[in-house]
Structure 1
Amino acid sequence: MNNNRKGILVCLLLLFLSVNATSQNKKSSVSESGLKSKKSKKRKKTKLPDIDLSHWKVTIPEGSGKGGAISVEPPEILDYAKNDILKPYMYNDSTKGALTFYAFPTRATTANTKYSRSELREQIVPGDDDENWTFKQGGTLKAKLSVDEVSRDKNGKYHKVIILQIHGRLTNEQKELIGQKDNNAPPVLKIYWQNGKIRVKTKKLKFSNVNGIGILHEEAWTDDEGFNFEQEVGFGKFQIEIKVTDGKMVVSLNNTEFAVYDDFNMKRWGVFENYFKAGNYFQSRDEGSFAKVSFYDLEVKH
């Protein structure tokens, strides 16, 4: 083979290798670009919670000290995502599609408690605390939620958080009858997240034969021994349903375990009005302690 032909073959070989490498680089570039595009789309995907807040007000651990915690009612609460005061304590977690409540110890507490809360309070009539419901009228609350983060105490145990409540309330007439300064009545139901499990506490009468006036006093009631569900929910999602009918209250966890209250205490509780509460009522005053609770669904019916 002469030198000219050898030179031509070498040139053609170099040209082929150059074109093939360029093609491979283009394919690689397109492929990487496609992956980046898909990843960026995933990062941008958001989901907002679908929770109707038109019949809830929120109280946060911000304000002028004991009894002076700030509350926001409807319709202002509907714009919570734009409310600079609420943002640190009640906000959307768009990666989870949840409404998150954050609480830690502050001087801003509500009356009759030393603990701080970032918690919703049901309002039958938006903006009005005086319209509530009785056991005879009944009510059902369904919630899907998770406790995302909780600090630990000096012994290494997680701090307790109350996530759901039914709170009693005196009518204005009852308040005047017993000479009480406010409408506060005991909470007939508190549901705790406690070291990854769910614990239920309710009220019982100290004396079963207390009369119709004495029963209105908070001192007539005491805590029951409590009930622990067997399932461990940890930091995952779980579902709770509370169903109240005349003289009866049923609490269920993930529709597989049930706590049933239908004795004379529940029947006599019918003297009170009530309202649901949901959120993060944090049960610690330890320095540096905190909790985050997220709600994915929250629905109430009467």
Structure 2
Amino acid sequence: MRKKRQYILPGFGISLGFTTAYLSLFILLPLSMIVVKTSDLGWGRFIEIVTSDRIVAAYKLSFGTAFIAAVINAIFGFLLAWVLVRYQFPGKRIIDGLIDLPFALPTAVAGIALTSLYAKNGWIGKWLAELGIKAAFTPLGITIALTFIGLPFVVRMVQPVLHNMDKELEEAASSLGASKWRIFRKVIFPETVPALLTGFSLAFARGVGEYGSVVFISGNMPMKTEIAPLLIMTKLEQYDYAGATAIATVMLGISLLFLLLINVIQARSRRYEEEAS
């Protein structure tokens, strides 16, 4: 007689039903309402709104600064995760706890603090001003704010992978005469690529939709430092709900395409890793 397989959670049918209902209620339905509300405009009006010079400039600024900040976080977030996993030093637990601070800190408070630091009379801004660099109320300031709020995503995704990595593989490669750089490039880095890409995509997605920490340090100058989420809020304050959802629809579409591309790259990297092993 076959032994009936025991499951800790309910069976596949019940679990799938709960999952589908949850996703539909909290994700799919709200997103579909954005598209439905946008359809009230008509195709011609929709194109007119989303291709206006002011909105296109806001798209470029939002996605461009979010991408640059995500790249910076991918590089330095990896280094920070490496230090926290591979080294022991005084104050390590404090630094490890501070990484999650952007998660708990209200975004408006973060924006005010960053603006105070990087303004011309701020602690850091006055030194940058002497070098001819203006941070606050420029795209550079927006990038700084997005780097601040996106760093924890990369660190917390890469850190467990480095922690669980088998060091015997590194020792075996070293015993075979591989250099430290070759061990990192062939053994360590490929293991962290999927987690690094996930952290990068999460930091990018958070940066695209960030509002509170950016609105203070950006200065909100049209065609220069005006982000797309601010335009959405402006449309909502003017009771132009269809216009707001039109801007949101384009942002949603571009974000989904970008995240889909990241998932494809992750799948290929995993497949390459499996074939190599």
User: What TM-score, normalized by structure 2, do the two folds share?
Assistant: 0.22
Which structure has the greater CA radius of gyration? Answer: 1
User: What TM-score, normalized by structure 1, do the two folds share?
Assistant: 0.21
Identify the structure with bigger relative contact order (alpha carbons < 8 Å, sequence gap 6+): 2
Higher helix share: 2
Higher strand share: 1
